[in-house]
Amino acid sequence: MAGGTDEGILSQVDHSAIRTNQAAIITLLLFAFIVQLPLLVGFVSLTLFIGTMNERLNLFKLLYQSVLRPRGILKPDIKPDNPEPHRFSQGLGATFTALSTLFLIIKLSVIGWGLAWLVIVLAGLNLFTGFCAGCFVYYQLSKHNVRGFNKRPIRI
């Protein structure tokens, strides 16, 4: 029996959209580091925050849905999955990149770029292995019955 949802309805997530999100994050943060552009880190943070609050306004997902998928550059990779852990993970990315931006602005560059690199590494881990560290944290909180973290991993 499939699990993971409160209603018993199997949720689905397009993992091509998630990989596009990760690739965009990695590309922009690496570019920001190379050219030493803290404002670009802030742009990534704002983009992630807006996308976390309203999935329809997720700029990187819109790139996938409006450009990459229609042109056949990427194909949908729809899997049984819960979207909530991925949104939580994106929110963590928004938080870490916001902190990164703050530290860069106040000239604590080692901490600021360190946080940006943490996001790059974790996004890369998800992009190249499929392991979502933020999702793992979400499911651990769910396992310990923390309020608001009510989704369980989907088993098929």
Q: What is the pLDDT of residues 29-40, one digit of tens each?
A: 999 999 999 999
Q: Is residue 6 part of a domain?
A: no
Q: Is residue 2 part of a domain?
A: no
Q: Is residue 4 part of a domain?
A: no
The two structure tokens encoding residue 144: 């310990």
Count up the domains in the chain and report the number: 1
pLDDT at 9: 67
Under DSSP, is residue 32 helix (H, G, I), strand (E, B) or coil?
helix
pTM of the model: 0.90
